[in-house]
Structure 1
Amino acid sequence: MLRNITQLPVYLLTCALSSAAWAAPTFITQDTPLPAGRWVDQSADLCSVAQATSAYLAQGENYDPEAIHGGKLTNIQVSPARIQRTLAFICQIQQEDRQQGRPSRLADPAFIEQAFERVRWHPDQAKAQSLSADKPLLQRLPAERILLTKYYVRKAQGATQPSPSQPHALYGLPFDEAHLSLEEADRLKDQITRYRFGKQTILKGALNHPTPLAPALTWLSRADLEGALLQGTAVIENNGLRQYFNVHRNNGIAYDRTRKPEEQERYWYFKEVPGVLGYGKDADYKIPIKPQVTVAGDLFQLGLGRLILLRTEEAGQPTYRLNILADTGGAFHDNLYQLDWLSGYYHGWEDYHAANRHISDYADAWFLLKRE
């Protein structure tokens, strides 16, 4: 039925379907002109993420079948190769525009409409409502717009030794699996440290007493630790030096969306990396990402590397941005009502809110594919 629905004009669909029909996630092919709005040009960073994501996709479906696919939902399925061609096209246009010294066509709505097929995404309201207790943003989720949360790279002060103000370690992989590949470690999951402890036990010192079971990469305040675990990346400043840490492997406990972040039992071990990284099935190969052109979402259903056009309101003004689905997280399993936008680098929630409070909580969203 959904295949037939996508062939109807949007205005007929809106008239024909009741609000109840939008409860399930719906994806509608759309050729009508885009509504007016301001377009933000970040095509150079967009191309950088596109190239990095395409390189990951080039490993092939056998390398990472959970993420490298063209979509698990029937009416948005395409080949991973077509996603790669779309990403390559982004860079082709960006480079041509730069060489010609002209404004970016990737911020020109007429070019976007001419060059790309668009599929409008309506959210999974049924799933959102099932999780909406004490969550006003989900309770108010519009039928036609997705929830757009924002995440950021946590900038924190680290210490080489624990102290009353910085008592919590950001741990690297436990010693007993430091030499193991991910596949080897998973075969030994009943025997290794990583699967033995939940987050709350670790916070009480289980990995450090009576003898250390994992290396302490740096020592943080509770707030900075929670920020690193929630965001998946931390930029640590210590005595004038800056280090980047990214999630490596977790303890196998699922993220519980009914609990607050600080109450979770899911726990991540980290690894030092050269920069900010997004998705990758293991820390040895993750996608380098950049703020304001990267979104995290349910790539297990949507497919890694999707080009997504978002229309939000910024200080009340409709605003368009192109983004690439190049990251995910525990909250995005079976989540077709939300994306998480990488907004920037901040010391904490106060800085984050000051920079992002003018951006709306909901967005119009379209999947874009290069026309062929």
Structure 2
Amino acid sequence: MATSKHLALTLSLLLSGSVLASPTFTPTTQLPDGEWIDLSEDLCDVAQQTHSYLAQGNAYDPAAIHGGTTVWLNTPTERIQETLAYICEVVHEDQQMGRTSRLTDPDFIAEHFELLRWSPDQQRASQLSDDKPLLQRLPSDRLLLTKYYVRLTNGQPQQTPETPHALYGLPFDEAHLSLDEADAKRDHITRYRYGKQTIVANESSKDQAAHMRNLAPPLIWLSRDDLEGALLQGTAVVNEPSGDRRYFNVHRNNGIAYDRTQRPEQQQRYWYFKEVQGVLGYGKDANYKIPILPKVTVAGDIFQLGLGRLILLRTEEQGQPVFRLTVLADTGGAFHDNLYQLDWLSGYYRDWDDYYQANRHISDYADAWLLLKKQ
């Protein structure tokens, strides 16, 4: 039975004549005014790394390597690859000529790229908008732009009262298995047996904590806040007491979907981690993920849009419009069936307060365009 709140919303829409819109991707040839941020070298770096992943072909990763699976988009994957390659071509030419990056020139962008203005999926957003003011206020022509960050943490090599929770490596019973081999044994391996709440609770018991260590190797020990940050962001950069800095990235999960109706600390979804050389974005397995950089990377629904899309964002920063070119090189549990939002990799921060101070002046919504090199 519908609740009074839902009935009120339905009546309001009927009286106003409003219809919640599906996502649209509308060709355009002009861009509004605004300041352009030049991070062309980093953009090329992420574009090149993403291009290399796409070169593995659709058979390697059909969920992500495609040109769009929706009725609104159907782009040959080759055009996405050509666009990413062209980004680096322009950057290298500009460097050789010693000139300002043409990727910050709106006339150059309009001349050399096809632009599709992206309006959000208001229907889907409205279904998930309870207790979410940002979705309730979602404009008809702008995306929700959340920001994620690489969490800087202080970890310990051993469990302590201050760091009682581990980032675990892949359980021992599948450490020698490929992803496909492990998934074929889904009913018999450790990874699928435990939800996050059980694992966290077990670590508070000496005997159960010892049992967990017999199932999977603890890579580093963290506080609960740092654990939640690592699980949410998918990456942890850990400063050890020795002064060493170590990087950890998600490896494989327990198969439980992220529940967008629950708070992060209440989730049952759990990730096992792998130590890596730097910050990584999307990849179907930890053995091959895309190296990414802040401010030029966005996470989104690669399953509908296709990995590697070049996306132009226009936000307000301290009241002024600002343009940024980004590459869709990451995703997350919140981006299944989500064409109303992007998540911008904003930087490296110790905690929420540091992040907030650095990003509070950036708007929560963004104009967005998908760009393809003209043929």
Please indicate, yes or no, whether the TM-score normalized by the shorter chain is above 0.5: yes
Whole-Å separation in 1 of the counterparts to 2:154 and 2:363: 30
Deviation at 1:20, TM superposition (A): 4.2
Unaligned runs of 5+ residues in structure 2 are 1-15
Deviation at 1:343, TM superposition (A): 0.2
CA contact (8 A) 2:202 2:212 kept: no
Match of 2:225 among 216, 220, 223: 223
Q: Deviations over 1:18-39 (max 9, x none)?
A: 98455211111112x2111000
Provide the residue aligned with 2:106 in structure 1: 109
Provide the residue aligned with 2:75 in structure 1: 78
Q: Please show how residues 91-130 of structure 1 align to structure 2 within 5 Å.
A: 91-130=88-127
Q: Please show how residues 76-225 of structure 1 align to structure 2 within 5 Å.
A: 76-205=73-202, 208-210=209-211, 212=213, 213-225=215-227
Q: Deviations over 1:127-180 (max 9, x none)?
A: 111111111000000000000000000100010111111110011111111111
Provide the residue aligned with 1:7 in structure 2: none
Whole-Å separation in 2 of the counterparts to 1:116 and 1:97: 17
Match of 2:235 among 228, 233, 236: 233
Provide the residue aligned with 2:368 in structure 1: 365
Give the share of equivalent positions with the same residue, in percent: 68
Amino acid at match of 1:218: I
CA contact (8 A) 1:228 1:234 kept: yes
Q: Which moved more, 1:198-207 or 1:277-286?
A: 198-207
CA contact (8 A) 1:148 1:362 kept: yes
SS in 2 for 1:350: helix
CA contact (8 A) 1:97 1:103 kept: yes
Deviation at 1:211, TM superposition (A): 5.6
**Aligned structure 1 segments of 4 or more residues deviating by more than 6 angstroms:** none
Answering whether residue 320 of structure 2 is matched by residue 317 of structure 1, we say: yes
Whole-Å separation in 1 of the counterparts to 2:191 and 2:48: 33
Provide the residue aligned with 1:29 in structure 2: 27
SS in 2 for 1:113: helix
SS in 1 for 2:188: coil
Whole-Å separation in 1 of the counterparts to 2:235 and 2:18: 39
Amino acid at match of 2:50: T
Match of 1:305 among 295, 308, 328: 308
- TM-score, normalised by the number of residues in structure 1: 0.93
Amino acid at match of 1:86: T
Provide the residue aligned with 1:328 in structure 2: 331
Q: Please show how residues 340-359 of structure 1 align to structure 2 within 5 Å.
A: 340-359=343-362
Answering whether residue 56 of structure 2 is matched by residue 53 of structure 1, we say: no
Amino acid at match of 1:265: Q
Deviation at 1:210, TM superposition (A): 3.3
Whole-Å separation in 2 of the counterparts to 1:46 and 1:25: 26
Whole-Å separation in 2 of the counterparts to 1:141 and 1:120: 16
SS in 1 for 2:285: coil
Provide the residue aligned with 1:14 in structure 2: none
SS in 2 for 1:240: coil
Provide the residue aligned with 1:9 in structure 2: none
Unaligned runs of 5+ residues in structure 1 are 1-17
The alpha-carbon distance between structure 1 residues 109 and 191, as it changes in their structure 2 partners (threshold 3 A), is same
CA contact (8 A) 2:119 2:143 kept: yes
Provide the residue aligned with 1:287 in structure 2: 290
Aligned length: 354
Whole-Å separation in 1 of the counterparts to 2:158 and 2:260: 33
SS in 1 for 2:141: coil
Whole-Å separation in 1 of the counterparts to 2:18 and 2:77: 33
SS in 2 for 1:197: coil
Q: Deviations over 1:291-310 (max 9, x none)?
A: 00000000000000000000
Amino acid at match of 2:217: P
Answering whether residue 276 of structure 2 is matched by residue 262 of structure 1, we say: no
CA contact (8 A) 1:19 1:143 kept: no
